[in-house]
Structure 1
Amino acid sequence: MMGAGAIEQFQKRWQQFKYVEGLLYAVGFGGFVYLLTHNIFYGILGLLMASGITFWILKPWKISSENAVGYIDAHLPEAGFSSGLLLSPTHELSDLSKLQQYRVATQLEPVLSKLRPPHNLLKAALVMFGLILLGLAGRFVLTKFGNPSGGDSSNTEQITFAPKDTLSTTAEIPELIATNITIAYPAYTRKRTLNTSAPNIKAVEGSRVTWNLEFDGDVQEVEMDLMGERIGFTKTQESYRLTKKLEASGFYSFTFKDDSGNDYVSDLYSMEMVTDEPPMVQIEGLDNYTYFEFDDDKRLMLNTNISDDFGIDDTYIIATVSKGSGESVKFREETVRFDAAIPKGNKRTQLQQALDLDALKMDPGDELYFYVEALDQKTPTQNIGRSETYFAVIRDTVSDAFVVEGNLGVDLMPDYFRSQRQLIIDTEKLIADKPNTSEKDFKSRSNELGFDQKQLRLKYGQFMGDETEMQAAPGQVSSTEAEGDGHAGEEGEDLLDEYSHRHDSDNEHNLVQEQEHGHENGEEEEDPLHDYLHNHSDPEASTLFEKSLKAKLRDALNIMWDAELHLRLYEPEKSLPYQYDALKIIQDIKNSVRIYVHRIGFDPPPIKEESRLSGDIGDITNFDKKEAFEYQMPFTSTRETIARLERLILGEKQFDDRDSALFIDAGNELAPKAISEPLKYLKVLQGLRDLEKVANRNKENFKAVQKNLLEVLPEVADNPMKRAEYQDEINLLYLKELGVYE
């Protein structure tokens, strides 16, 4: 039968898809049952039952070849509704049917393997994952709320005791018949008192935990061993009672004695303290920095979200207004309450408040720093949470100018001494942006940088006494010479006239030409007030700096001329080296005017001239100081325990009371680390505690405890010691060749 095998393969793939679809449904239901019951037997049973039901509904075994032929004819035009001929024997067909059979088989061969049978695998997979997620949610709900507060917990873990030493066969062992642990949470948490028999405790900080132990038999001295601290129980009627406030996490166990003096000890249990976290405060939809103009509506809208694990008690806004600047700055702090009432005890709340800067009496130039602070209901000390700090500034419309009076002190290091660095940064940015900048914009930006360089040069010129541009650039004619032949410029306009240095001064057209007043005898009359005046006509005499700095500052001004020139000529690459040279000189000037405080040091006694250069050193002794200290290696008891366990494994000694005390000390050493990493250390501490029971004192337990101790023992830092030195010349040469001293 030509092509019958391809149809059979399609039929098998269809059946396989149906089986996989039913299996997905079954796995989802089995996982759901397992997660709810936490029992593998029930999970497998649910898987088998769901498989049977889904297979019975889908019936994959009932997909026949006729079903496959019908699906192929309906979805493949190449079949020509004649794919059924492929299942018929060739000798039973007519010549025309044989021809059709051959044609259909030839056309179906390349496309039939690509045809996918009908299935719902995606739907089945979604149902499977949905059932598993539903089982996880149900497991979470049962774990969190399945044990109602106030009822007894049906926890399988119970407190068990074992004797420390071997008992006589006639001794009766007291039995713990009832355990009741009561956890009273702090009142502010609004959580009900929890009664349980599970010894592993997890409660909020400040909870009061009460243990009630009831024994069948005569018992003496019931105690709790809390990380080395012994706490005795109080006997009340037929039970023993102990109440302790939960203040820290740790590990504990119980011990008691019977009438015969035999000691019994329990396993090690955990006591975990849950810290009450401070409130979480977050302001949404507000920028960290907000600026207002003088005529703006100066209001800030605060949308605040506050959450706490047990409840919010109060919240408010802390606003600090800053007025003034420098040493005259003043701060005023205010507490702004929310207009809306704050619901006490809610774990989550949203508040809105408009913060009016005018109501805070802020003026132009003032700054506001504010944040939202929230308190929870923890007693006796509340936790405080706060948001980020936000800033609001009212821009100042008045700019103050720095004026130097003749009778006032002068700040030799003004803020604009840092402007040359900013010019360098802007010039480098202009050079980097040149390929992507139009020629017009490039020239405009270069010219603006030249103007900024000019302004900086004029500022420095003021400190040289240059109230106007008195110093011409190197190689430039003076203003008088320019006036002398300035008429020649009327014939043709100078293209560089706008960018030349002689026109940089705004007041140059107002300057009065200097005139020389000579005398007939060739001698200039001496001015009697010359020594008492601040002569602005002489730049060398009018500087505000000391004499040694004038030359450096003049060099910086001359270099700034060249830097400005190349910027005006649209050559920032050539201007950049001059700017760096000017910055270097400015830094030297700034460092040279720093004031240093005289160092107070040791003043040696005067040398006796009669003993000087005599060579007598008889009375001179060397100072030699020796200090001995004992290095204390950390985790000493733990290391001794490892060595003692090795001797116990080899059978060199028997277990005695000293071993028990040593193992307790080792456990106390590791207990602080077990609080931060309980999963790593709990097994080790439990193993040490088990060695106090006589039934566990065997070679296998000794090896297991020793192995666990070696795994958790931290590494020791290197002990300071003198290194070995190789004095032999051959060894030194050999080590040198090996590259030891490289």
Structure 2
Amino acid sequence: MNADELLARWTAPAKRRVITDSLSLALPLVLAPAAIGWRLSGILVAVMIVVIGAAIALLFARHRAQRYDQRWLVRALDASRADMEDSADLLFADPAKLGPLEQLQQARLADRIDRDSPQSLRPDWSRRATFILWIAALLVIGLVIFWPRPGHGPPTLAPSTEALPATPGIPRLVAQNLRIIPPAYTGLPPRDSASLDTRAPVGSRIEWTLRFDPQATVPAIQPVGSAPITLRRDSANWVASRSLDASFLYRVDPASGRGPTPPLHRIDAVADSPPQLRALSPAASLTMVTQGQRSWSPVFAATDDYGVAATARLRVTLAIGEGENVTFSEREIAISGSGPARDRRFSPRLDFGALGFGAGGDMVVQLIVRDTRQPAAQEVRGPSLILRWPSPKQPESGGLQGMVNTTLPAYFRSQRQIIIDAETLIKQKRRLAPDRYLARSASIGGDQQILRGRYSQFLGGEEEGAPEPPTKDSEQHSDDDGHDHGGAPRQSAPGFGAPEDVLAEFGHPHDDSPASSLDPETRAILKQAVDEMWQSELQLKQGHPDLALPFAYRALRFIKEVQQATRIFLSRVGPELPPIDASRRMTGKREGLASRVLAVAPVEGRDGPAAAAWRALGEGPGAIREPIALDSLDRWARDQAAHLPDPLALSGAIDAVRRDPACVACRAKLRALLWTAMARPPAHLARRRPADAGGARYLGAIGGGTP
């Protein structure tokens, strides 16, 4: 057996003992904090504490085991075994480096080493420390498990806050507790309230625990405007419970109407708000596909007061095609969110190839989420985001208003055809006769003239003539000298630009017409394009297509700028009134005429009972000192509860006036609440102020009287 095998054999039992002992010491130190975390924050926190604690315990045990190495084994053998003769280090020495006597001693020790087992060198257990730690951990775990939680077990009653005077023989409330158990979907724990006024989510269970002195016989909880809630006896206390469906006012009546009137308490039902959805990325509702983009990942944020469902639906609508050949498809994709339940993020990855999305199409996405409300979850649809893949055939434009003339892009493409024809003619020059070459060049020049005339329509026809030269030329020209004199453009040859003739045939040629308009910047660029067309036309008709190409290219560049900048907008058509019958004018005939005066219908106000009660509660001569008929006002308050700022406060004020009609403070409070509850009256014409002394003299002067 070599030295390494000997070392591993004799240190292994000690290392195993140390690791086991370390884990037994660390386990109670992990379980106790995990139990506390579970009690305070739930099972997830407890699992995290166990995982982190186990990792720390393993590192601690490994660190302790590393101390049991060769040096420890040599010291342990020399200290515990006399037959090693304080020479245990020779067992792990290299024989080649030892002398004859040392080799002889090494052989003797090797024969003696097996007289005992390696288990004899194991360290003892940490029994005392382990026992103390486990006892402490069990005590902590027991306290965590059996310690009463808020909302569980018998409640602790608080002294009553009603402060009613004691009347002999009549019970009064002396101790109270209100327990609120929210619905499970909210994730809120039950809680106890020392006050009888509270706010709780809709669907919560409200439990009252009350104590009276002297002991009551038939106490009850009296909600305002509804049936009483019966209390049942539980030892020395009285208990009752109710599901919270809506806000209500109530009072605790311990003596069935005997004794002083108890004060009102209110419980407000907090409705579960629907989830809130917003788009984080992209920020704009319309986005264009970028070069090389193959997928899209919009990001949505969904928030809720209690929690958003972990999964949502993404509605994807595709519009593929152009013009009348547009096909629509719609599908819904289930996606999962990330983050906490109250603030989730949804970021789906939409692959263009898998969805069939391509150039010339639009992709519209809309996220649909639900909250965790039970039994019926609330569903909300988020904003729609549009991803547009522009078609390579037709540029896109944004901010369009009115109708767009769809024949305009065809005009813009005709200039490129003229350039192509001119370049083809230049390549064929050697194979054509001079007269044939000149005729074809002039024909292309005629096409350029036609196109120039059509673009001039957008400038009001003002560019039909050639640009004026810097100086006047006295040279005389004739109609057949081959030059353009700025006359009316001749009609196009059959078949040329057939799709473009729509605007030339039916459009109005003047810019001041309501048919079309261009913004000043686009108009200036189009004017430069027309000027370059004229120069190109001039060179083509003279038989120089090579000299015309630079002008034609510049005209094309200006046209493309106009194309990318805007389109032609057609103004909206206004209403067409029927023609006036002139034959009936000045005749006095009134047959068939009807009055144009519209009947004025009275406005039905919804504040009738409230307005009457407000006037009656005033201090003026219309005030009523007797008990006011509050039944109609109470019904009005219940019917208009959705429109009132605080319906419970108004109901409480009505109840106070009903119980004590002579209470001045109660009447003033009710009158103030009615003023805020009534609809604001519409604005009326202000009455003209009476004239002062100077105004009276002026009015007298212009009226012909004496000032």
Shorter-chain TM-score: which interval? 0.3 to 0.5
Q: TM-score, normalised by structure 2?
A: 0.46
**Higher RCO (C-alpha under 8 Å, 6+ residues apart):** 1
Q: TM-score, normalised by structure 1?
A: 0.44
